[in-house]
Amino acid sequence: MTSLLTLEGLTKAYPGVVANDDVSFEIAPGEVHALLGENGAGKSTLVKMIYGLVKPDKGKMTLNGAVFEPAEPRAARAAGVAMVFQHFSLFDALSVAENIALGMENPPKMGDLAARIREVSETYGLPLDPDKVVGDLSAGERQRVEIIRCLLQDPRLLIMDEPTSVLTPQEVEILFKTLRQLSAEGTAILYISHKLEEIRSLCDGATVLRLGKVVGRCNPREKSASELAEMMVGSALTPPSRASTDFGEVVLEVSNLSIPSPNPFGTSLKDVSLTLRAGEILGIGGVAGNGQDELLAALSGEALAPRGAVTLHGNDISQMGPTPRRHIAVLAAPEERLGHAAAPDMSLIENAFLTGADREDLHKNGFVKWPAARAFAEKIIEGFDVRTPGPHNAARSLSGGNLQKFVIGREVLQRPEVLVVNQPTWGVDASAAAAIRQSIIDLAQNGTAVIVISQDLDELMEISDNFAALNEGRLSRPRPAQGLSIEEIGLMMGGAHDMEVAHVEA
């Protein structure tokens, strides 16, 4: 079998970091090839080079036997390379057809394009209405827009960057069916992921990256998930451990909470109810954009809830803002590290003060006690192994994992009675993720009631006592996490939404 795409010795360095170091591999036509690696292993830089967004410093690419040096994405697309991005490539206010036209070199007239979109979406079982505004679509539907945008160009190589992070398990199955169909038709697929089971079920070959270097090649079907994990991380990881699961009394109760979304493309919370006991970890899963941010805001006090909807030990706290809630030990750590949980350009001292002002007694009569704030910041840095030259450094200078440790550590050290975290390990390397999960478990062990909102189902299954899922602003009834099957979880997350029907027809 001759190869479709060959990479030889690709190298790309940024100041202070070599993103890719002498990376080589081959993809055959029709092959589904996995690019496996942790966050920061250099997967994104590599595919950006293939897609013409970044120029390699060294090395050579060959596509179909010819030298391949795309100067820009347009050139890559013209050569038959298409890419489905994880983020950042759709326009909310534009229609599906307009979004697709923007990704094409010579789009047909809008009317013809709409017809072709319908046709392709039927063929591959990805139903889509070309006239809908993208901002109104679910995460899964938005991904379909991207996929169809690629398919309309008859690509020879389709790059998919973490495609399943926005899908329910049922939707993942449907996507895989589409990808297998494409592969059977001769389209090669470069599949980027850190989810090992997926790769084992889908891919024909895998290249494993660690710290910018190729550290292994294999046929993933012949390896176990833990073997793959070890190749990816470089050492065996010990999963977080938990001693006992005795819950105390009910601490937090949310009943029939509904909050309409303040902006047109946001999600409204609808009739959310839950109870949380001391020492319990409630995992809340769901596809991105189904009300996770909104739920966190309602619990942290950033969004005020209707009277009586949120109670702590039976006392109504619905109308309290973030500061009074912190005062009674209800703490939160939002998903977006830079710009929500922390101010990017402010120092770690100032960021420690940001939520710690009240509980850590960092001000007196409104005057800030900077030495105390500094001591608190240093305590976090030390206690949570945050790698930074010092507390005076700006938050944005930290790596994702280190900043996340800081953000979680900041709340954990304030002795919360209730802690709500959203995506605690998103974009964080494996060792930092393990440390963060362990600290959450330890916190619960000591009697804190914890809500972990996450899109990483493995993570939730690993640490939660009970599991519930958000779907279009509604929360499913929480159930014990132990013994839940992946199908049951998928159904709680909304199943395949409207996709099954389409497949029956196809």
Task: Give the footprint of other proteins on this chain (CB under 8 A).
Answer: 15, 48, 52-55, 70-74, 77, 85, 88-94, 98, 101-103, 107, 262-264, 300-302, 321-323, 326, 332, 334, 336, 339-346, 350, 353-355, 357, 363, 366-368, 370, 393-394, 396-397
Cβ proximity to other proteins: between 221 and 387 the closer is: 387
Nearer to other proteins, 12 or 33 (CB): 12
Q: How far is the CB of 201 from other proteins (least distance, A)?
A: 29
CB-CB contact of 215 with 239 (8 Å): no
Nearer to other proteins, 21 or 302 (CB): 302
Tokens representing 502 are 């389409």
Cβ 61 to other proteins shortest distance, Å: 13
| Comparison of 253 and 302: residue with beta carbon closer to other proteins | 302
Cβ–Cβ < 8 Å for 221, 200: yes
Closest distance of CB 299 from other proteins, Å: 12
With both helix axes pointing from N to C terminus, report the angle between 400-412 and 370-383 in degrees, rounded to the nearest 10. Answer: 110
Of 265 and 308, which CB lies nearer to other proteins in the complex structure? Answer: 265
- Dihedral sign, Cα of residue 123, residue 124, residue 129, residue 132: negative
Return the ∠ at Cα 118 (arms to 113 and 119), rounded to 5°.
95
Pairing of strands 250-259, 269-277: antiparallel
State the nearest-atom distance from the C-beta of 284 to other proteins, in Å: 19
CB of 105 to other proteins, least distance (A): 10
At 300, the amino acid letter reads S
In the complex, the smallest distance separating the C-beta of residue 419 from other proteins, rounded to whole angstroms, is 14
d(CA 152, CA 82): 10
Phi, psi of 245, rounded to the nearest 5 degrees = -130, 65
Give the C-alpha separation, 210 to 36, whole Å: 9
Measured from the CB atom, is 395 or 496 closer to other proteins? 395
Measured distance CA(268)–CA(391) in Å, rounded: 38
**Minimum distance, C-beta of residue 393 to other proteins, in the bound complex (Å):** 6
Q: Whole-number minimum distance, CB 326 to other proteins, in Å?
A: 7
User: Based on CB atoms, which residue is closest to other proteins, 172 or 386?
Assistant: 386
3-state secondary structure of 367: strand
Q: How far is the CB of 412 from other proteins (least distance, A)?
A: 17
55/313 with CB nearer other proteins: 55
Q: Between residues 229 and 403, which has the closer beta carbon with respect to other proteins? A: 403
Determine the Cα–Cα distance for residues 8 and 239; give it in Å rounded to an integer: 36
Q: How many CB atoms lie within 10 A of CB 61?
A: 17
Smallest distance, Å, CB 361 to other proteins? Answer: 13
The single residue listed with the structure tokens 């298409």 is 82
To other proteins, the closest distance from the beta carbon of 255 in angstroms equals: 24
Q: Tell me if 447 sits within 8 A of 414, measured CB to CB.
A: no
Between 65 and 262, whose beta carbon lies closer to other proteins?
A: 262
Identify which of residues 53 and 502 has a Cβ nearer to other proteins in the complex: 53
> For residues 90 and 100, what is the distance between their CA atoms, to the nearest angstrom?
9
- Measured CA to CA in angstroms, residue 126 lies from 37, 92, 144, 157, 262 at distances of 29, 19, 6, 19, 31
Question: How far apart (Å, rounded) are the C-alpha atoms in residues 398 and 377?
Answer: 14
Measured from the CB of residue 86, what is the shortest distance to other proteins in angstroms?
10
Q: What are phi and psi of 213, to 5 degrees?
A: -115, 150
- Cα separation, 212 vs 215, in Å, equals 9
Q: Exposure string (b/e) for 428-440, b if CB count within 10 Å is 16 or more?
A: bbbebbbbbbbbb
What's the full length of the chain, in residues?
A: 506
Residues pairing with 332 in the sheet: 420
Neighbours of 89 (CB within 10 A): 16
